[in-house]
Amino acid sequence: MKMRLVALALCWCSASLFAQDYFPSNDGVKSKNNNYRAFTNAKIYVTPDQIITNGTLLIQNGKVVSVGKNVSLPQNTIVEDLNGKSIYPSFIDVFSDFGIEKPKRASGSGRASQYGPSREGFYWNDHIMPETDAIAKFKFDDKKAKELREVGFGVVNAHVNDGIARGTGVLVALNSDGNDADRILEDESAQFFSFEKSVTSRQSYPTSLMGATALMRQLYHDADWYAKGNVATKDRSIEALLANKNMPQIFAAGDNGNIMRADKVGDQFGIQYSILGGGDEYQFIDQVKQTNAKLIIPVNFPDAYDVSNPFAAKYVNLSDMRHWNLAPSNPSVLAKNGVDFTFTLHDLKSSKKFMENIIKAINYGLDKTVALKALTTVPAMVLGQSNSIGTLEKGKQANFLITSGDIFESNTTLFENWVQGKKNVINTMDQKDIRGDYDLVVDGKTYKMSITGALSKPKLKVKKDSTTLKSKLDYNADWISFSFTEDDNVLRFTGLVSPNTTVLTGNSILPKGKEVVYTANQTKTFQEKEEENKTADKPELVAVTYPNIGLGNTSLPKQETLLFKNATVWTGMEKLENTDVLVKNGKIAKIGTNLNASGAKTIDATGKHLTAGVVDEHSHIAGLSINEAGHNSSAEVKMADVVDPKDVNIYRNLAGGVTTIQLLHGSANPIGGRSAILRLKWGESADNLLFPDMPKFIKFALGENVKQSNWQSFSRFPQTRMGVEQVFMNYFQRAKEYDELKKSGAPYRVDEEMEVLAEILNGERFISCHSYVQSEINMLMKVAEKFGFRVNTFTHILEGYKVADKMAEHGVGGSTFSDWWAYKYEVKDAIPYNAAIMASQGVTVAINSDDAEMSRRLNQEAGKTMKYGGMSEIEAWKTVTLNPAKLLHIDHKVGSIEVGKDADLVLWSDYPMSVYAKAEKTIIEGAVYFDLEEDLKKRDAITAERAKLINMMLQDKATGGKTQAPVQRKKPLFECETL
């Protein structure tokens, strides 16, 4: 009611403010309101850094005319004395879907995948929709606008939150009194992107994060080609992308890893995105900072987990408990690291939580000025709109908030939110303070009445003698109405509050309908209680580890000078008893007996075995996705784009002596994606895990998986081994033609897929091919020979033993399982003697895992090659060290213990291929990444930290904090076939 009255009142003074001169008027006579409005005696935050006390803000026609200490007021000015209240620029949300209908999910039509696009005349991929204009789908939503204004927002930037290239946003002032002719500030405010497919199309590609990343890159290549006029047909998507390129570019990344991913795409094409984060940036703050991107940060601080049931509590990972504890500190961490950011309502369930959480962030150390910038000037800057919004300087939009005091204090009242010079009352300013204790006299009886709480929403307590009566109070626009229940009878009261009075009086209706006058005399004024310490004490924060999960390191391991004394040393070529090894500057410095080195940390290795670190040729740990299954070739995707440095399996692999892995694409398609070779430097960022000067590899695959034999899919080529060959022939032929064109110097369209395949033809990139049966193994070697290159590695290669002679002749290596078989038809003839037979024919043989469990005991799997086929212990040990290093072209650095090589070492408690052996220390480049003794300390630390956080969450619940059900976040375990 209150709002409507105010709105009506405003109609009179500003009805014509925005109507255009040339619009006819048939609802009255034309009239204009050119009056000024001044707000005096206010504390005015002109900008977050420029604050005027006792200042005046003068506005006219929706704009700021003047602001300052001494502002001369024209005669036609309505003056409002704010009497010490504060004025702030209103807030701006860069990332909103205000007024945009939620896109509808495409209805599924059976299980068949859709490989082609649904549209014509647009980009070949439905998820690329730069032609989408949010303004075309925009409808001003009054109800939502009111909700946003109540939080303090004046302007939001809305877009269609769907798809990879999402088109342009629309910048809207939340002015419910005007219309789209005046409140839309920018029709095409910014261009939006994300890594997530559109829900409106079922087109399969991309099925993965790395596919989405590659698609973004290819889109820019294609746009470049198109812009140069090389395309004869029309592509409305690319035309739109090009048309939008000078707008601010905003990327919806959604978490710290994706921030870095998005920024990398931008860097390649000279674009600096502003990036939507996820609230977890504190975990990799150095890397986030290095992007130099302005960030859009949600304040989606998680509720505590309800851990009151210990059974359920067990399901919650320490990393999630920590995030509950640390998330509110995220904004202050960003600020302390000098990262520019703006807050968004995005990803927050209730807008009511917004200010509450920002105040929480301030409690956790966020500077108030930075907070205000994040709500005003930074979003204006991100949108390139600093000249019209974000501050209250002369000429800017009159978008401001009037508050009772510091906007970042929880007991502050937001009175009004002015948008484009239009007043919106949130809480009435002239609400009289009725709080206090009263003696209520009605119908001859006296009651004790106490009114407390917030000025705008007071609470009532009524007592008869010592009995508290159930009561209710409403206070609205000077009218109070209250009631209470005595002996099952309800007494009702109304009254108009007079200014500066200590008496409440009016009519009461007694239970039998009789109306009498009541009087309540104030006996005690209300005392604002000292702000309960709730907000004052900064909560205890646990430490961030590297990476930030329970088993993370408290600090990053550093290179040490280490001297191993008296070990059995497996150099790779031989086994040396009672030998010393000196590690210095990350390298093997000396191997010998009776070595001494000053300053070295000496490790007594008597009775122990020292070997090179285990190298796993075929791994799927530390990846966020494994297969890009949307096309039968996905050479454009890179596993390096989706490295997950937080995967606990990295640590578990270290505990099994693994130091290097090849993170392979899966086997969903004949031509897979580019591999990443990783060093398991636990705690480092994704990029720092990449092997230095990483040799270039790609995954290929043959057989049942690429034919999609074992699930219901009948529409994608190839469905047979015959078709698989044709895919390769076709791609290599096209790559050859592409490469010839490129080398000729003629213009060409950059095609990432063709670039990668041409690298194979030119011997710059190596194939690791998933393979099972002899026919297909032979086939790929013949295809390679036709195109003049060599297949580097057959991985799995379970029937390699049947064509080992041919493999040796071709010069391809074999990386196989020790003893897997019988899980599908093509492994019917897989035998554990495979490794030994291939080795006997001169093939370089490795034993790999393809499995997060087996990888952490590859040393034992190597031992099985001695059992099955009788390999010698030196040759057996090579299958998990030097041979995979050779196959990966990194044997000049790792794989054996030789002076000058990198110090990637494992100290084993026992014979290294024995089931009884434990890795005691695992070292990469001279830094200890796993130490059994440190691991024992970590266990205690995890127990203690869990107990501490559980206790904190229980306390939070006990003091009324909201909770969520305990859940366990778990990423799936990947193997070749994981889609």
Residues between 866 and 885 with contacts to another protein, criterion CB under 8 A:
866-867, 869-870
Compare residues 322 and 373 and give the one whose CB is closer to another protein. Answer: 322
> Among residue numbers 91 through 150, which ones bind another protein (CB under 8 A)?
none
Nearest approach in angstroms of CB 963 to another protein is 13
- The whole-angstrom separation of Cα 98 and Cα 100 is 6
Compare residues 243 and 831 and give the one whose CB is closer to another protein. Answer: 831
Does 721 sit near another protein (CB under 8 A)? no
> Among residue numbers 635 through 664, which ones bind another protein (CB under 8 A)?
648-649, 651-652, 655
* Contact of 815 with 887, CB cutoff 8 Å: yes
Token pair belonging to 114 = 């859709």
Does 486 sit near another protein (CB under 8 A)? no
Nearest in space to 163 (alpha carbons), one of 191, 135, 138, 199: 199
> Among residue numbers 313 through 342, which ones bind another protein (CB under 8 A)?
314-315, 317-319
Compare residues 153 and 651 and give the one whose CB is closer to another protein. Answer: 651
- The whole-angstrom separation of Cα 155 and Cα 379 is 10
Nearest approach in angstroms of CB 731 to another protein is 27
Does 257 sit near another protein (CB under 8 A)? no
Question: For helices 721-743 and 752-761, what crossing angle results, to 10°?
Answer: 90
Does 720 sit near another protein (CB under 8 A)? no
DSSP string of 272-337, one letter each residue: --EEE--S-GGGGHHHHHHT---EEEE--PPPEE---SHHHHTTS-HHHHHHHHHGGGHHHHHHHT
Identify which range of 456-464, 521-529, 608-616, 820-828 contacts another protein by CB under 8 A: 820-828
Question: Which residue type occupies 114?
Answer: Q
Nearest approach in angstroms of CB 550 to another protein is 4
Does 829 sit near another protein (CB under 8 A)? yes
- The whole-angstrom separation of Cα 498 and Cα 477 is 11
Out of 507, 939, 955, 961, which residue is the one contacting another protein (CB under 8 A)? 939
Nearest approach in angstroms of CB 910 to another protein is 7
Binding mask 522-561 for another protein (x = CB under 8 A): ---------------------------xxx----------
The alpha carbon dihedral of 706, 712, 717, 720 has a sign of positive
Identify which range of 525-533, 586-594, 633-641, 827-835 contacts another protein by CB under 8 A: 827-835
Compare residues 746 and 822 and give the one whose CB is closer to another protein. Answer: 822
Nearest approach in angstroms of CB 302 to another protein is 13
DSSP string of 632-672, one letter each residue: SB-TT-BGGGGB-TT-HHHHHHHTTTEEEEEE---SSSSEE
Does 347 sit near another protein (CB under 8 A)? no
Token pair belonging to 117 = 């696009």
Nearest approach in angstroms of CB 644 to another protein is 13
* Cα 59 to the center of its chain, rounded Å: 41
For 978, half-sphere exposure in the C-beta direction (CA atoms, 13 angstrom radius) is 18
Compare residues 79 and 967 and give the one whose CB is closer to another protein. Answer: 967
Compare residues 102 and 939 and give the one whose CB is closer to another protein. Answer: 939
Q: For 89-123, b where at least 16 C-beta lie within 10 A, e where not — what string?
A: bbbbbbbbbbbbeebeeeeeeeeebbeebebeebb
Does 7 sit near another protein (CB under 8 A)? no
Identify which range of 137-145, 406-414, 504-512, 861-869 contacts another protein by CB under 8 A: 861-869
Q: Omega before 206 cis (within 30°)?
A: yes
Q: Cα-flanking dihedrals φ and ψ of residue 234, to 5°?
A: -95, 135
DSSP string of 346-397, one letter each residue: TT-S-TTHHHHHHHHHHHTT--HHHHHHHHTHHHHHHTT-TTTSSS--TTSB
Nearest approach in angstroms of CB 384 to another protein is 36
Does 967 sit near another protein (CB under 8 A)? yes
Nearest in space to 931 (alpha carbons), one of 939, 919, 942: 919
Nearest approach in angstroms of CB 935 to another protein is 7
For 282, half-sphere exposure in the C-beta direction (CA atoms, 13 angstrom radius) is 24
Binding mask 944-963 for another protein (x = CB under 8 A): --x-----------------
* Contact of 348 with 300, CB cutoff 8 Å: yes
Compare residues 822 and 958 and give the one whose CB is closer to another protein. Answer: 822
Nearest approach in angstroms of CB 868 to another protein is 8
Q: Which CA distances in Å does 840 have to 761, 770, 835, 849?
A: 30, 22, 9, 22
Nearest approach in angstroms of CB 958 to another protein is 21
* Contact of 207 with 632, CB cutoff 8 Å: no
Does 821 sit near another protein (CB under 8 A)? yes
Token pair belonging to 804 = 């080992």
Compare residues 400 and 651 and give the one whose CB is closer to another protein. Answer: 651
Nearest approach in angstroms of CB 951 to another protein is 16
Q: What is the 3-state secondary structure (H, E, C) of 615-635?
A: EEEEECCCECCCCCCCCCECC
Compare residues 106 and 312 and give the one whose CB is closer to another protein. Answer: 312
Nearest approach in angstroms of CB 822 to another protein is 4
Which residues, 6+ apart, have CB-to-CB distance to 505 below 8 Å?
Answer: 495, 517, 518, 519, 520
Nearest approach in angstroms of CB 500 to another protein is 57
Does 853 sit near another protein (CB under 8 A)? yes
* Contact of 431 with 167, CB cutoff 8 Å: no
Nearest approach in angstroms of CB 939 to another protein is 6
Nearest approach in angstroms of CB 852 to another protein is 6
Count of residues that bind another protein according to CB under 8 A: 72
- The whole-angstrom separation of Cα 624 and Cα 673 is 14
Does 824 sit near another protein (CB under 8 A)? yes
Does 717 sit near another protein (CB under 8 A)? no
Nearest approach in angstroms of CB 805 to another protein is 7
| Distance, first Cα to last Cα, the chain | 56
Identify which range of 96-104, 215-223, 831-839, 885-893 contacts another protein by CB under 8 A: 831-839
Does 209 sit near another protein (CB under 8 A)? no
Token pair belonging to 632 = 């039968």
Does 966 sit near another protein (CB under 8 A)? yes
> Among residue numbers 299 through 318, which ones bind another protein (CB under 8 A)?
311-312, 314-315, 317-318
Beta pairing partners, 304: 963
Going through 454-514 in order, the beta strands assigned E by DSSP cover 458-464, 467-476, 479-486, 489-496, 503-509
Out of 457, 470, 828, 962, which residue is the one contacting another protein (CB under 8 A)? 828
Does 156 sit near another protein (CB under 8 A)? no
- The whole-angstrom separation of Cα 559 and Cα 581 is 15
- Torsion, Cα 860 862 867 870, to 10 degrees, reads -160
> Among residue numbers 879 through 938, which ones bind another protein (CB under 8 A)?
909-911, 913-918, 935
Out of 174, 307, 854, 894, which residue is the one contacting another protein (CB under 8 A)? 854
Nearest approach in angstroms of CB 869 to another protein is 7
Out of 733, 823, 937, 944, which residue is the one contacting another protein (CB under 8 A)? 823
Compare residues 569 and 827 and give the one whose CB is closer to another protein. Answer: 827
Compare residues 681 and 901 and give the one whose CB is closer to another protein. Answer: 681
Token pair belonging to 269 = 């094409």
Does 840 sit near another protein (CB under 8 A)? yes
